[in-house]
Every structure is written in C-alpha cells, then in structure tokens.
Amino acid sequence: MRKILLMMLPLFFIGTIVGAQNRPLTGTVKNSENGAAIVGASVVIKGTTKGTVTNVDGKFTLDVPTKGTNNVLVISSVGFTSTEIKLTNQTSINATLTSDSKQLEDAVVIGYGSVKKKDLTGAVGTVSAKEITRGNPSNATQALQGQVPGVLVTKLSNKPGQLWSIAIRGENTITANPNADGATNLTLVSSNPQNMNTEPLVVIDGVVGGKLQDISPADIQTIDILKDASSTAIYGSRGANGVVIITSKRGSTGKPRVTVDFYSGRKTPDHLPPMQDAQQFYKSSLTDAALNGAVVSETMFNVNELAIINGGRTTDLVGAMTQPGINLGANIAVSGGTNGTNYRFSGGYIQEDGMQAHTTYKKYNLNAAVDSKITKYLKVGFTLYANYSANPTGSFEALRTAYRERPTSTIYYADLVDKVIGRDDITGSVNGYAVRMGRNTAMNPVLEASS
C-alpha cells in the first residue's frame, strides 16, 4: 500500500501544477446598439480550440492561461462584427459587439419577420442603400429601375418630378378571340404597365399603403420586393401585384454622428434641329417660292413681321423654350443613442429642373425616428415623414408649338409695331406676352409654358 501511495504522489503534484497554470475568467457579451445580451456568442482563445459560448443572459466562464502575454480572446456571433480583447490579469470582462451591415443584407424582411434569402421560398429582390443613392434619384421609385429582375419601372412623363409606375412581373390575361371560320384563338395580352391597378402594395416601416415619393432616397436603408407567394402570405389579396417593403435608416447607440450627402449635376439640351431665322424664312417663303413658280404675296407677312425681317432680327422660340437645368440633392442627418434610446433626424432638399422653360421640381423633406427600449420585452418608438414639393410643369404642347411657329413671331406685347392689324390678327396682352386672338392661330408658346 505504501508503495502505491509513493507512486501516485508525483501524479498529484503534476495535476496541481497544471491546474495552477489556468485561472477562471467570467464575462458578459452584449449588443452595442441596444445593450441586449447576445446568446450563443463564441468566446475562444485566439490560436487555440479552447473556448465556450454565452448563455441566455450573455454570460460565460472560461479557464484561461495564467502565463503568457500574448493571450487574446476572440468574441464573435452571427450578424455581428467580431472583436478581440488582449488578456492580462483580468478576472472579468464586459464585451460589446456591433451589427455587421454586410451580413444583415443577407436577411430579407417579409411581413412581420425576416428570413435568410437561401431559406426563402418566394422570389425576393433587395436593393441596398448604396444602390439606391448610386444614381442620385429624385424619387425612390427611380432607384429601382434596372436593379431587380422582373420589375419594370417606367416614368409616366418626361416632365421633372413626375410619378413612376412599377409592374412586378407584368400583368397578363388570356382572352379568347373567334376566327372567321369559327375557331377560337387564345391570345396572351399584356396589360399596360402604367395602369395604376397593377401597382404593387407599398409598406414603409410597417405602415401599409405608403407612397414611395413621400420618402427621400437618402433616408432609405433597404428596399425589399416580394414577387411571388411571399407577397400574399402576410398581406393577402392586397399583395397580388407584389409588395415593396421600405426600411428606413434608424439611429444606433453611440455619440451623435452627423452625415451630409450632396450631389449636383447639369444637363443641357442637345441635338436640337436647326431652325430658319426670320430672313431665311422670308426668302424661302417668297423669293425661292416665286422662282419655283409658286404664286406668292407679301401680304403673307404683316407689319409686325416685316419690322422684324427688315430690322435684321429674328425670334428664336425654341431657344426661348429650352434651358439648361440642374439636378441637386442635399441631405443632412444627425443620429445617435444612449441609455436604450436611439434617434435619427434628417432634412433634405431635392431639385430637378426640366430642359423646357418654367418646368422644375423642388422638394423639401424632414424625417424623424426615435426608438426607446422601456423594458427587456417592450420597445416603443415613432417615425415621422413630412415633405413639401412644388412642381410646375407648364404645358405639354408648348414646345411643339414653338417648332410650328414662324421665326417672325413677337413674344412680348410691348415689341409690337402695330397692336391691331386686322381682324384675323387682333392681339392682346396677357402678363406682358403678346397673344393673337384671330382664327387659326396658336397660343404664344412662351406664355403657354409659363401658365
């Protein structure tokens, strides 16, 4: 018996020495944005396989070496950016992890929850904040153009600030048309994508029935488009044409951060067809026409037109109707959070000028979002959008009228030599513009555009 005890004594000392080389380390891992405990976070000593995971309260216990100055603790979790902590003589640590936006982009919001794209049975398209603002759109709908397969985005008018139409995978119907011989042909007919009845349902931060033009593109975090069964799983028949889900940007815990976004651009009319001036028009209408055998008369031009021709002047109506335009956008946002309350406030301005005179789109918008965690299971908040826009579009016929008018026309009433020159050419003044009120005459296009 004595011999057995003597043989086990060295083993006891070896076990005591090995145990003395490790010490217990406790800690807690939380979300840096809201302070919530992170369950199942991995806590590993760097370069080894020794580690553990956090419990339901975000806490962990791990034996770490007592010797060595290069021991580093690596803490990571799905959806968060990993962090490393150098170990010295700590007995307890508190670690925080921040959300990883790149990983979160792989999650898609559907209705009241979210799933990973690979687990989603329906067809879903996602547009990130970077893709939304890449083209500097004046309307959030414009940001979807060419970004998602199966989504057709068209502008209802080329005027600035006009609405856009969205058709998700089109709207098709099958109609039966009998032939002359009595046979019936089935014809696939695509509906007009501009038909407002085919518009998808828009959900902004959980509010059903919103409008894309009401929110600034700079305030959008993601746009998710539900194209198949996912669109009706939560929203029923309202999602039959698809669902566009807007998730706006929110504040995060930390010091106040100021973000400024600005862009500007200039557009100029180009490739306009060359027009005759007053003297060229007179020559082609009288001199050249007479040489070609046409019966002409100088009564084709009234006294006001002859004054312009003989004075060497001309009226460039197309030039008066077109203008260079600018695209401008500015947005400033302040965000931050503390003690479980996060906030984000932003204000922006968008301007889109048309290349036709007196056409522009100006929009002012405000956005406020506050989220506050009252208890562990209760979170409250609000989101506010306010915007004001001005969108004079003028006349849709004014530019065509400018191309049809003669270069001997008079734009302003004060420039007329003779205010009344015959029944068919009775003139008047509207806001200082010359207006002919006779038969077979067109409205002054400059006046028409400004009205």
Q: 425: alpha, beta or left, given left = phi > 0 and alpha = psi -120 to 50?
A: alpha
Are 213 and 341 members of one domain? no
Q: Is the residue at 86 inside a domain?
A: yes
Is pLDDT at 210 greater than 90 in this prediction?
Answer: no
Using a 10 angstrom Cβ sphere, with 0-12 exposed, 13-18 middle and 19 or more buried, the burial of residue 139 is buried
Q: Is the residue at 4 inside a domain?
A: no
Residues spanned by the domain of 349: 254-268+323-390
Are 410 and 282 members of one domain? yes
Which distant-in-sequence residues (6+ apart) come within 8 Å of 9 by Cβ? none
Are 306 and 384 members of one domain? no
Enter the tokens of residue 26. Answer: 């406790």
What is the rounded distance in angstroms from the CA atom of residue 348 to the CA atom of residue 365?
Answer: 5
Give the ranges where 335-438 is alpha helix by DSSP (H): 398-404
Is pLDDT at 194 greater than 90 in this prediction?
Answer: no
The conformation of residue 196, written as its DSSP 8-state character, comes to G
Q: Is the residue at 119 inside a domain?
A: yes
Is pLDDT at 330 greater than 80 in this prediction?
Answer: yes
The residue ranking higher by pLDDT, 62 or 442, is 62
Predicted pLDDT of residue 6: 47
Torsion sign (Cα): 32, 38, 41, 46 = positive
Which range among 204-218, 244-258, 394-408, 411-425 shows the weakest confidence by mean pLDDT?
411-425
Are 179 and 200 members of one domain? yes
- The mean pLDDT value for 106-116 works out to 54
Using a 10 angstrom Cβ sphere, with 0-12 exposed, 13-18 middle and 19 or more buried, the burial of residue 115 is middle
Q: Is the residue at 378 inside a domain?
A: yes
Enter the tokens of residue 17. Answer: 């020495």
Predicted pLDDT of residue 363: 93
- The mean pLDDT value for 419-426 works out to 56
Inter-residue contact 401 to 409 (CB < 8 Å): no
- The mean pLDDT value for 279-306 works out to 84
Tell me: the pLDDT tens digits for 155-169?
888 888 888 888 887
Which residue(s) pair with 362 in the sheet? Answer: 351, 390
Domain end call among 368, 390, 412: 390
For the ranges 32-36, 87-91, 208-212, 365-369, the maximum mean pLDDT occurs at 365-369
Predicted pLDDT of residue 405: 86
Is pLDDT at 111 greater than 70 in this prediction?
Answer: no
Q: Is the residue at 59 inside a domain?
A: yes
Are 288 and 430 members of one domain? yes
Domain end call among 370, 390, 410: 390
- The mean pLDDT value for 375-386 works out to 87
Are 97 and 110 members of one domain? no
Q: Is the residue at 375 inside a domain?
A: yes
Number of domains the chain is built from: 4
| Per-residue confidence band for 108, with pLDDT thresholds at 50, 70 and 90 | low
| Per-residue confidence band for 396, with pLDDT thresholds at 50, 70 and 90 | confident
Which distant-in-sequence residues (6+ apart) come within 8 Å of 146 by Cβ? 153
Are 204 and 217 members of one domain? yes
The residue ranking higher by pLDDT, 210 or 106, is 210
Give the rounded percent of residues in the chain with a pLDDT score beyond 70: 79
Which range among 188-202, 325-339, 418-432 shows the weakest confidence by mean pLDDT?
188-202
Among the listed residues 130, 38, 129, the one whose alpha carbon sits nearest the alpha carbon of residue 79: 38
Report the CATH number at residue 95: 2.60.40.1120
| Per-residue confidence band for 127, with pLDDT thresholds at 50, 70 and 90 | confident
DSSP codes, 222-251:
EEEEE-SHHHHHHHGGGGTT-EEEEEE---
Enter the tokens of residue 406. Answer: 């003669």
Q: Is the residue at 8 inside a domain?
A: no
Are 120 and 136 members of one domain? yes
The residue ranking higher by pLDDT, 433 or 426, is 433
Are 440 and 404 members of one domain? yes
Are 287 and 378 members of one domain? no
Tell me: the pLDDT tens digits for 334-359?
999 988 899 999 999 999 998 888 88
Are 160 and 259 members of one domain? no
**For residue 53, what is the enclosing H or E element?**
strand 51-53
What is the rounded distance in angstroms from the CA atom of residue 411 to the CA atom of residue 213?
Answer: 37
pTM for the model: 0.61
Q: Is the residue at 5 inside a domain?
A: no
Domain end call among 81, 101, 121: 101
Q: What is the 3-state secondary structure (H, E, C) of 72-131?
A: EEEEECCCECCEEEECCCCCEEEEEECECHHHHCCEEEECCEEEEHHHCCCCEEEEEHHH
Torsion from C-alpha of 143, 144, 146, 151, nearest 10 degrees: -170
- The mean pLDDT value for 233-255 works out to 83
Using a 10 angstrom Cβ sphere, with 0-12 exposed, 13-18 middle and 19 or more buried, the burial of residue 127 is buried
Are 110 and 154 members of one domain? yes
Is pLDDT at 81 greater than 90 in this prediction?
Answer: no
The residue ranking higher by pLDDT, 372 or 49, is 372
Is pLDDT at 115 greater than 60 in this prediction?
Answer: no
Strands 243-248 and 201-204, by their bridges, are parallel
Which distant-in-sequence residues (6+ apart) come within 8 Å of 153 by Cβ? 141, 142, 144, 145, 146, 164, 165, 166
- The mean pLDDT value for 61-83 works out to 82
